[in-house]
Amino acid sequence: MVIQNTTRRWGALSQLLHWTIVVLIIVQVTLAYLADDLPNGMRKLTLLARHKSFGITILALVILRLVWRRLNDTPTLPETLKPYERFLARITHGALYVLLFAMPLSGWMMSSARGFPVSWFGFIQLPDLVPKSKPLYDFFVTTHETLAWTLGAVVTLHVAAALKHHFVLKDDTLRRMLPFTGKKERI
Amino acid sequence: MVRASLAVACAAALMTAAAAAAPGAAPHYTLDQAKSSLEFAFTQAGALNKGHFGRFPVTMDFSADNLAASRLEVAVDVNSLDTGDKDRDDTLRGADLLSVSKFPQAQFSAAQIVKTATGFEASGKLTIRGVTRDTRVPFSFRTASEQGAAVGYMSGKVTIRRLDFGVGQGEWKATDQVGNEVTVSFALRLISATH
């Protein structure tokens, strides 16, 4: 397995980051959903603390992903794509990166505005990004929720496109982000 | 002549000693609530959370030269706690934590104050949520004269364990999310009644 990306295939590090973030997003949605219905108490506190810690983890992984993307090749889009499809693919991928940044940041700001400092799994206490304020808190709650639904929509589009490439167009677009599917190749 | 001045010196020394030992010789202070703070800090989900009390009457007799006559009484209106978040405040006031409806007042009562290397230390009984524990509170004290009035500035910090006082019943006995240690810090402006 190759660590680095090539123009034809995502490398091991990019794949690892991609799928780790996928798993963490599923964890995040589950934690948020579970905590939402709970009364104030230890369980809600614990779930939200994990939600915040995983969110900060995603933020760090996304930064790492963007840095890594800059440092090596990016697999090219399939030749068969029409211009509007190329445009849509770029918009979707761009939106995913923006949302993966904005989600944790808006959550972090929401906590700061509420006066609940964020800690990463109890190891590091993060600084407050905004001052404590009720209007700011309300704004970031709405922002965080809106971004969450937007992310849901963009992810749906992303997954639908990947499946279309795999099952309808039968190209290797999905496979090149999957481990153990690459042919032995020399760079 | 030498003998006479020695006698005077001895008499003066005796009088000073008598004055020092005399009960009630330490000035009486009351709290300037508006210019005083009583804060607490605890870890919640790994992050430091802070709050303060709005009402905590203090009466104190204190003289650095007459510690034997010095004493300290603090009565904290627990319901006046404020962490800046209503949900968190209400949770803290609840039966499993501070239980303010049953135990509206926390008290510290110290009849013994001693000098330490860095300041003073009050030894007394701290009562929170109906549980009383021997507690030592280190503090510094300085006096000032402000517009003819004698004032005292007292500050210090003490770390207590909430579970020693039963602050945390049921699920709140766990300390992984809400830490056991609570740091209580105070900065008081005290006004002397005798000025």
Chain A contact present for B174, CB below 8 A: yes
CB contact under 8 A, A41 and B44: no
Token pair, residue B117, equals 């290397």
Does residue A2 belong to any structural domain of this protein?
A: no
Identify the DSSP state of B72. Answer: E
**Chain A residue at shortest CA distance from B169:** A42
CB A77 within 8 A of CB A86: yes
Choice between A63 and B11, residue whose per-residue pLDDT is larger: A63
Chain B contact present for A115, CB below 8 A: yes
Kindly tell me if the per-residue pLDDT of B14 is higher than 60. no
CA distance B93 to B78: 8
Q: Residue A124: what pLDDT?
A: 93
Encode burial over B89-126: b for 16+ CB neighbours within 10 A, e otherwise: bebbbbebbbbbeebeebebbbeebeeeeeebbbebeb
**Residue A105, min C-alpha distance to chain B (Å):** 17
Does residue A7 belong to any structural domain of this protein?
A: no
Identify the DSSP state of B101. Answer: T
**Chain B residue at shortest CA distance from A116:** B49
Kindly tell me if the per-residue pLDDT of A91 is higher than 90. yes
Chain A contact present for B177, CB below 8 A: yes
Does residue A112 belong to any structural domain of this protein?
A: yes
Q: What is the mean pLDDT of chain A?
A: 92
**Chain B residue at shortest CA distance from A49:** B45
pLDDT per position as a tens digit, B87-120: 999 999 999 999 999 999 999 999 999 999 999 9
* CB within 8 Å of B30: residues ≥ 6 apart: B57, B58, B59, B60, B190, B191, B193
* CB within 8 Å of B151: residues ≥ 6 apart: B32, B143, B144, B145, B189, B190, B191, B192
Chain A contact present for B131, CB below 8 A: no
Give the residue ranges of DSSP H helices in chain A.
12-36, 42-71, 83-114, 134-163
Chain A contact present for B181, CB below 8 A: no
Chain B contact present for A68, CB below 8 A: no
Share of chain A above pLDDT 70, in %: 96
- The predicted model gives A130-152 an average pLDDT of 97
DSSP SS3 for B116: coil
Nearest to A41 among B83, B85, B171 (CB): B171
Q: For chain B, which residues make up each domain, given as ranges?
A: 24-192
Q: How buried is A104 (Cβ within 10 angstroms: 0-12 exposed, 13-18 middle, 19+ buried)?
A: buried
In the block, residue with structure tokens 């933020």: A59
Q: What is the mean pLDDT of chain B?
A: 89
pLDDT per position as a tens digit, B144-195: 999 888 999 999 999 999 999 999 999 999 999 999 999 999 999 999 986 4
pTM over 0.95: no
CA distance B129 to B95: 10
**Chain A residue at shortest CA distance from B170:** A42
Chain B contact present for A180, CB below 8 A: no
**Residue A138, min C-alpha distance to chain B (Å):** 13
Token pair, residue A61, equals 């992984």
Q: Residue A56: what pLDDT?
A: 98
pLDDT per position as a tens digit, A20-29: 999 999 999 9
Prediction ipTM score: 0.77
Q: Residue B94: what pLDDT?
A: 96
Q: How far apart are the first and last CA of chain A?
A: 12
CB A26 within 8 A of CB A6: no
DSSP SS3 for B192: strand
CA distance A109 to A127: 10
Chain A contact present for B130, CB below 8 A: no
Interstrand relation of B81-82 and B47-53 (parallel, antiparallel or unpaired):
antiparallel
Choice between A77 and B195, residue whose per-residue pLDDT is larger: A77
**Chain A residue at shortest CA distance from B177:** A46
Share of chain B above pLDDT 70, in %: 87
Token pair, residue B17, equals 């000693």
**Residue A140, min C-alpha distance to chain B (Å):** 16
pLDDT per position as a tens digit, A96-130: 999 999 999 999 999 999 999 999 999 999 999 99
**Residue A146, min C-alpha distance to chain B (Å):** 24
CA distances from A26 to A46, A58, A62, B40 (A): 17, 12, 16, 37
Nearest to A42 among B48, B88, B171 (CB): B171
What value does the CA radius of gyration of chain B take, rounded to a whole number of Å? Answer: 21
CATH of B24-192, picked from 3.40.50.880, 3.30.70.1150, 2.40.128.110, 2.40.50.140, is 2.40.128.110
CA distance A139 to A110: 8
CB A17 within 8 A of CB A61: yes
DSSP SS3 for A169: coil
Q: What's the sign of the alpha-carbon dihedral A161, A167, A170, A172? A: positive
The structural domain count of chain A equals 1
Q: Which domain, by its residues, includes A68?
A: 12-177
Q: Which CATH number goes with the domain that contains A18?
A: 1.20.950.20
CA distance B100 to B78: 6
**Residue A186, min C-alpha distance to chain B (Å):** 48
